[in-house]
Structure 1
Amino acid sequence: MTPPQRKLRSTEWFGNADKNGFMHRSWMKNQGIPDHAFDGRPIIGICNTWSELTPCNAHLRKLAEHVKRGIYEAGGFPVEFPVFSNGESNLRPTAMLTRNLASMDVEEAIRGNPIDAVVLLAGCDKTTPALLMGAASCDIPAIVVTGGPMLNGKLENKDIGSGTAVWQLHESLKAGAIDLHQFLAAEGGMSRSAGSCNTMGTASTMACMAEALGTSLPHNAAIPAVDARRYVLAHMSGQRIVGMAHEQLTLSKILTRAAFENAIRTNAAIGGSTNAVIHLKAIAGRIGVPLDLEDWTRIGRGTPTLVDLQPSGRFLMEAFYYAGGLPAVLRRLGENHLLPHPEALTVNGKTLWDNVRQAPQYDDEVIRPLSQPLVADGGICILRGNLAPRGAVLKPSAASPELLRHRGRAVVFENLEHYKERIVDDSLDIDASCVMVMKNCGPKGYPGMAEVGNMGLPPKLLRQGVKDMVRISDARMSGTAYGTVVLHVAPEAAAGGPLAAVRDGDFIELDCARGRLHLDISAAELAARLAAPNASDRGGHGGYQRLYVDHVLQADEGCDFDFLVGCRGAAVPRHSH
């Protein structure tokens, strides 16, 4: 059956028998492209974050070939193009600094080129939200294909999780429980295949968010990177994007308010990363959907965490896929009337519920029934108070239950360097009841809001057997990390937020049940301290960092640039040579 014919964007470049049409077609033909490629078939962009400097995405060139097969098979013509690839493991000072840069690259590449729809090839933490942000700003048909998680890590014949194992083993090293040889022995076995982190870190979380939002085909989130079924999914995604181009199934028809509410509930059920709060807010801002921190409380809190994966639980992404993957989780939520909007549209043209209503569920240990959740009340805890008037976040499923209500004496670190200096000092006045506070690591302060919020505990306390303490900062933490960690305090210290006023010896109250984060000083004292100059020096930045510091929004607003919020569409003035 011939698909209905609609005017395609690419015809503005290739569809005219004039000078411009001649030049556009002729120059493309230097790649050996035949005439019939320009006969009105959809031109499909493959937006690729492949890079050997982004280990999680280093296999995406191979994945792109399978996408191309699907596009050709469905009667489209694929054109692959690179965009900035910001890998979490190598890029300094933090990949979050360049998420917005990557999104700008994506947006301008899509808008300025003759493509009718786009396949977004992503994987590592920031690449998935960056590509969705950029594509949302153009609002053309788009489908997400992520690279998939690594195989299980192995150490001494046991499974270890990428990222999570590093934090665990490093704490054991500092506590004297293992030696340097034992620590380094894990290095070769932790990351033993292509793919992103095999824990429910930010990469896996955002792959799950893409699927829950309806922007990828079912099972995209969890198929291991080296499993042949990952290539089949890439092929089928290539096929499907051609149909989406004909149907003009644009992102604004999928990224609705209902889709974001489904994603928030899903994040709670999987024990997803706190970084999802910032990324979903930024994506929503690009497509014009209102999303607030209160939505995470209203929709996410009270949802049981069903997925027993590290860092919250025991298993890894391989087991998650074999247990049924995200469709099994969504089915379990839907059958228990916990899927807010089962009728939400997805990229295959079906509703979310149509896609998962018969999803197989193979393992009740990995994907638990509602009667036996990993955490009865999961989701992201949103905290407010005089220390975080615009909000802060905490992940209960990765925290110590006994610390979710706590009052303790503050031990303050003015920045990351100050923390590194003080934390190893055995004379530091700190005990297990204290609250560790780190300032000036937020969007403007770092800059880029690095994943340093899960501050390692003082070695002297680790040697005493202390496993967790309350930690507070305006930074982020890796989705692979764990602990009772308050993050994303807004406004940040470098922007004049109350966090800047905290001093050693102040008492801080954390009460997750009440959503409260309170600094025990008077309003007058707080105002007086904030009136004093902030010791943070944000000077010296030039180039992109200057642009970032001048225009980045706070964490509660998604850390996008103020001038990037909103959908600008795909229209571009026609240039005459």
Structure 2
Amino acid sequence: MPFTPAVWPRVLRSQEWYGGTSRDNIYHRGWLKNQGYPDDLFDGRPVIGILNTWSDLTPCNGHLRELAEKVKAGVWEAGGFPVEVPVFSASENTFRPTAMMYRNLAAMAVEEVMRAQPIDGAVLLVGCDKTTPSLMMGAASTDIPSIVVTGGPMLNGWFKGERMGSGTALWQMSEDIKAGKMDKAEFLAAEQAMSRSSGTCNTMGTASTMASMAEALGMALSGNAAIPGVDSRRRVMAQMTGRRIVQMVKDDLKPSDIMTKQAFENAIRCNGAIGGSTNAVIHLLALAGRVGVDLTLDDWDRCGRDVPTIVNLMPSGKYLMEEFFYAGGLPVVLKRLSDAGLLHDDALTVSGTTIGAEVAGAQNWNDDVILPVERALAASGGIAVLRGNLAPNGAVLKPSAASPHLMTHRGRAVVFEDIDDYKARIEDEDLDIDETCVMVLKNCGPKGYPGMSEVGNMGLPPKVLRRGITDMVRISDARMSGTAYGTVVLHTAPEAAAGGPLAVVRTGDMIELDVAARRIHLDISDAELAARLAAWQPAAPMFASGYSKLFVDMVEGADTGADFGILKGCRGREVPRDSH
């Protein structure tokens, strides 16, 4: 059904705090006036919360205070009342044990900030990997009119005349160090060239992927995803977003109106076309759970498996986000999907129009960055969802980042019980491993790490790297960075710490991978597998108190989004009882 805007003017939720002359109204309104706000700002105009994930310890979002001022300008221009609200900021670069452990905490905090405070609409000011899904999850849970504006990617890194992709270059160079191809001095010199402007990773890593997912879902203005963080057009986008949210409040255009099943299918296909991060699987599953859309791993495979990867960006290709923007950005990709009949053109966006109408005029200015289908990086991109006795609830692999010769493989397992075991043994020259083996890493899933760290793209043993081998099949219940690459099977579910079959794999077992058949198989009998699982014992609890214990006790599997069950579903925007 087409969206029908609400009748304006109408009484807004902020008036429950600010409207009237009761003691409670004066309590809420009067104290805010110490900031110098005049009376008529409280007369019923939309109050817009600018939820800002700026932090000095979240470098990807370090420029968001400047962008917040542009959002405010847009809100003022459209007749709204902007209020900037700092919210939980989980930095991919600094949080330990992993930022993913705090995505749910951030989403919970954002949800309660939105519900408990007098805002009628929200601008979600995000950038770094987990900040985008966490704020969108909070907005979905409250269903207050919301719009995303991202901080944008860094400018290209350059070193010795070559493009240097943030993250991707780090993984490559760390392998070169172990292989003896690069020395430490050169590595440190390259570090200075890697991150040369404000913004998120300049590869098609998780930050750029999630910015693209927000746009493909219809939750950001068209063209938002690719504008570099320091480009003046990023500031224009922020100001236009500020203008737009005021009208969204007047129309009561909500996340639930936009994030429909069709919108999620659009995003899944878009992820395949851009060669997006495997992390998008977990985040979109969790987001769908918050908005009440039935989305599963099977939807990822059904919608994404026949989508060609046409964006030639690292880690799958050779360019970076700066070139993607100059080539036309995500609207070009969405138009390609539309032209191929792979886009639900009538899906609604925050603009109030359909996504098909938004991208109808998009033009490609560089067909070596956004490739024609006949030159696609992968004819069947998307995310491959694998199943079998090793992953009865599913596992994922990114074909565009994998080696074609390893997509069908049978090899001997070399097992690492956890990340510490891996680190202790991987450089041992006596380790019995070669390129035909399958590296298996356990106990790195949502419960096991905890938080499901990005360690799934295990570095190869130095003795293998020195022989010129650059890829091996790797299997784990972990995640991997969206900037990483390789034939890596991730998110194996159920995870080892929850007693999944991965927990009982032994060194010497044979494992079969067949990506085309979507199969991952531990080559032992059903009886042997059952006997091993029956004898398996869980490890002692790692935590006795605090958020870490809450997380381990409540987190669900990667196959459903690694969210907390109690946070699923839309709880709405109802105002808590006033206590004054």
TM-score w.r.t. structure 2 length? 0.98
TM-superposed CA distance for 1:532, in Å, is: 1.9
C-alpha contact 2:273 2:309 (8 A) present in aligned 1: yes
SS of equivalent residue, structure 2 residue 433 = coil
Match of 2:469 among 466, 472, 490: 466
C-alpha contact 2:78 2:246 (8 A) present in aligned 1: yes
TM-superposed CA distance for 1:45, in Å, is: 0.3
AA aligned to 2:569 is G
Q: Is it true that 1:86 corresponds to 2:60 in the alignment?
A: no
Tell me what 2:103 maps to: 99
C-alpha contact 1:411 1:435 (8 A) present in aligned 2: yes
SS of equivalent residue, structure 1 residue 563 = helix
TM-superposed CA distance for 1:576, in Å, is: 4.3
C-alpha contact 1:440 1:536 (8 A) present in aligned 2: no
Aligned mates of 1:311, 1:37 — CA distance in 2: 49
Aligned mates of 2:407, 2:276 — CA distance in 1: 18
Tell me what 1:177 maps to: 181
Q: Residues 541 and 394 (structure 1 numbering): CA distance in 2 closer, same or farther, change over 3 Å?
A: farther
Q: Is it true that 1:434 corresponds to 2:437 in the alignment?
A: yes
TM-superposed CA distance for 1:174, in Å, is: 0.4
C-alpha contact 2:504 2:536 (8 A) present in aligned 1: no
SS of equivalent residue, structure 2 residue 475 = strand
Uncovered stretches (5+) of structure 2, i.e. residues with no partner: 1-5
Aligned mates of 1:276, 1:540 — CA distance in 2: 28
Match of 2:399 among 396, 400, 411: 396
CA deviation vs aligned residue, 1:345-386 (integer Å, no higher than 9, x gap) = 000101001100001210110001122211111000000000
Match of 2:422 among 419, 424, 428: 419
Match of 2:263 among 259, 265, 271: 259
Within 5 A, what are the aligned runs for 1:110-509? 110-339=114-343, 341-509=344-512
Q: Is it true that 1:569 corresponds to 2:572 in the alignment?
A: yes
Match of 1:72 among 63, 73, 76: 76
Aligned mates of 2:196, 2:542 — CA distance in 1: 41
For these two proteins, the number of residue pairs brought into alignment is: 575
Aligned mates of 2:369, 2:551 — CA distance in 1: 41
Show structure 1 runs of 4+ deviating over 4 A.
Answer: none
C-alpha contact 2:100 2:453 (8 A) present in aligned 1: yes
C-alpha contact 2:144 2:255 (8 A) present in aligned 1: yes
SS of equivalent residue, structure 1 residue 487 = strand
TM-superposed CA distance for 1:535, in Å, is: 6.2
More off after superposition, 482-491 vs 527-536: 527-536
Match of 2:24 among 20, 35, 45: 20
More off after superposition, 108-117 vs 28-37: 28-37
TM-superposed CA distance for 1:540, in Å, is: 3.1
SS of equivalent residue, structure 1 residue 488 = strand
C-alpha contact 1:494 1:534 (8 A) present in aligned 2: no
Match of 1:7 among 5, 11, 19: 11
CA deviation vs aligned residue, 1:534-553 (integer Å, no higher than 9, x gap) = 36443334200000000000
SS of equivalent residue, structure 1 residue 350 = coil
TM-superposed CA distance for 1:485, in Å, is: 0.1
C-alpha contact 2:499 2:538 (8 A) present in aligned 1: no
Q: Is it true that 1:558 corresponds to 2:548 in the alignment?
A: no
AA aligned to 1:516 is R
SS of equivalent residue, structure 1 residue 447 = coil
AA aligned to 2:213 is M
SS of equivalent residue, structure 2 residue 269 = helix
Aligned mates of 2:492, 2:348 — CA distance in 1: 34
Aligned mates of 1:132, 1:552 — CA distance in 2: 18
TM-superposed CA distance for 1:137, in Å, is: 0.2
RMSD (Å), alpha carbons: 1.0
State the identity %. 66
Aligned mates of 1:502, 1:292 — CA distance in 2: 26
